Amino acid sequence: MTTLTLGKAINAGLRKAMEDDPKVLVMGEDVGKLGGVFRVTDGLQKDFGEERVIDTPLAESGIVGTAIGLALRGYRPVCEIQFDGFVFPAADQIITQLAKMRMRSLGAVSLPVVIRIPCGGGIGAVEHHSESPEAYFTHTAGLRVVSCSNPVDAYSMIQQSIASTDPVIFFEPKRRYWDKADIDTESTDWTPLHAAKIVQPGEHVTVLAYGPSVKTCLEAAAAAGEEGRSIEVIDLRSLNPLDINTIVTSVNRTGRCVVVHEAPVFSGFGAELAARITERCFYRLEAPVLRVGGFSTPYPPSRVEDQYLPDLDRILDAVDRTFAW
C-alpha cells in the first residue's frame, strides 16, 4: 500500500498508463517542465520526454483540436485544461467534433481522448478558476463524463478513462487534491468506471453527490448520525453514463433523496437526477427530491465563496426538510 494525495494518485495513474502504452500522450499548458499548476503531471516530462509530455501554447481549442488529430492517427492523448473556466474556448472542438466523430463515421472511427479538468471551488481562486461545468458535457451525447472524489478512485479511474475507446471528460476536484489515502498500486481489482459507490450506508435518506461534494456529504452524514438520522451517501463517480440502478435501489429503500453539487441548482445535473428518480421511484418516495447547490449567480469572489458552496448546514437542512412532508 502506498499513501498518496489525490493529485499524486492521478500522477501515478498517468505514469502507469504511459508505461503500459507508448501511444499515451500528455499535453496541456505548463504540464511539462512545471508539472502543471497543481503539479499533477510533475516529473512525467523528465521521465517520458518532450515528445510524450507536451507543453502546448495557451490555446485550449488548439489543444483539443490537436488531440483529435492525434487520436485519428492512433494515439491516446490526455489533455489538461488548466482550470475549469478555461474549457469554454475548447467547447466547439469538444461538442461539434470530439463528441460526434463515432456517430458521424457510423462507428468506424473512435477518438480515445481524455480531457482532464480541475473543477469546483474552495481554494480561494480568482474569477474563471472555480467553475462546475459538468452539465454542459453531460448534455452532450457522445461524451463519457466522470468525476473522482478520492485518491483511490482517482488512481483507477484515470487509467480506465485512458483505456476507453470513447472520449472522456475527467473532472478532478481541485480542493481535494491534497486529501490522502492508502492505494494498492499493484491491484487492478477496480470498481468499474461507470459504477456508483455507496460510500456510507444508511436507512433514512439517500444523498447523491460527486467530486468535491462527496466529502462534505460524508461529514453531514456523520453529524446526522449523532442525532439519530441514518444517511446513505452515494458517490456517483460517473455522470454519463449514469448508474441509475444503484440510485433507484437506494431511494426505493430510504424513500427520501437529496442531491448535492457545487454547480448552480437551476438546470444543473441535479435536475436530471431528480427527474429520473421521480420517474423510477414515484410510488416509494415519502418527499420530493431536494437539491442543494450553488446559487444562480456567477461564482463569487473568494472572500464569500463559503456562502455559495453547499456546506454541512445546508445539506442537513435539506435532509430535515425531507422529513417535513
Give the mean pLDDT of 208-236: 97
> Is the pLDDT score of 79 beyond 90?
yes
State the pLDDT at residue 274. Answer: 98
The mean pLDDT value for 202-221 works out to: 98
Q: Which CATH class is domain 197-322?
A: alpha beta
Residue 322 to residue 318: CA distance in whole angstroms = 6
Judged against a pLDDT cut of 90, whether residue 242 lies above it is answered with yes
| Residue 45, SS3 per DSSP | helix
Query: Mean pLDDT over residues 28-48, rounded?
Result: 97
Beta pairing class for 238-240 and 144-147: antiparallel
Residue-level pLDDT at 171 = 98
pLDDT (tens digit per residue) in 93-117: 999 999 999 999 999 999 999 999 9
pLDDT of residue 69: 98
The residues that are catalytic are 129
CATH of segment(s) 2-183: 3.40.50.970
pLDDT digits (tens, 9 = 90+) for 263-280: 999 999 999 999 999 999
Locate 34 and state its grid cell: 512545471
- The answer, yes or no, to whether the previous bond of 241 is cis (omega within 30 of 0) is yes
- Does 153 have pLDDT greater than 90? yes
Give the length of the chain.
325
DSSP-derived 3-state class of residue 315: helix
HSE value, Cβ hemisphere, 13 Å, CA-based, for 263: 20
What is residue 13's predicted lDDT score, i.e. its pLDDT? 98
Per domain, the residue ranges of the chain are 2-183, 197-322
Rounded distance between C-alpha atoms, residue 260 and residue 291, angstroms: 6
Query: What is the rounded distance in angstroms from the CA atom of residue 213 to the CA atom of residue 116?
Result: 18
State mean pLDDT over 15-20.
98
Question: What's the pLDDT score for residue 325?
Answer: 82
Mean pLDDT of 289-294: 98
Residue keyed to cell 454542459: 136
Kindly indicate the confidence band of residue 311, based on its pLDDT and cuts at 50, 70 and 90: very high
Q: What percent of the chain has pLDDT over 90?
A: 99
Topology alike, domains 2-183 and 197-322:
yes
- Stated as kind and residue range, the H or E segment containing 276 is helix 269-281
pTM: 0.97
- In the sheet with 114-119, reading across from the earlier edge strand, the strands are 53-55, 24-28, 76-80, 114-119, 168-173, 144-147, 238-240
Give the confidence band of 180 by pLDDT, cuts at 50, 70, 90: very high
Residue 253 pLDDT class (50, 70, 90 cuts) = very high
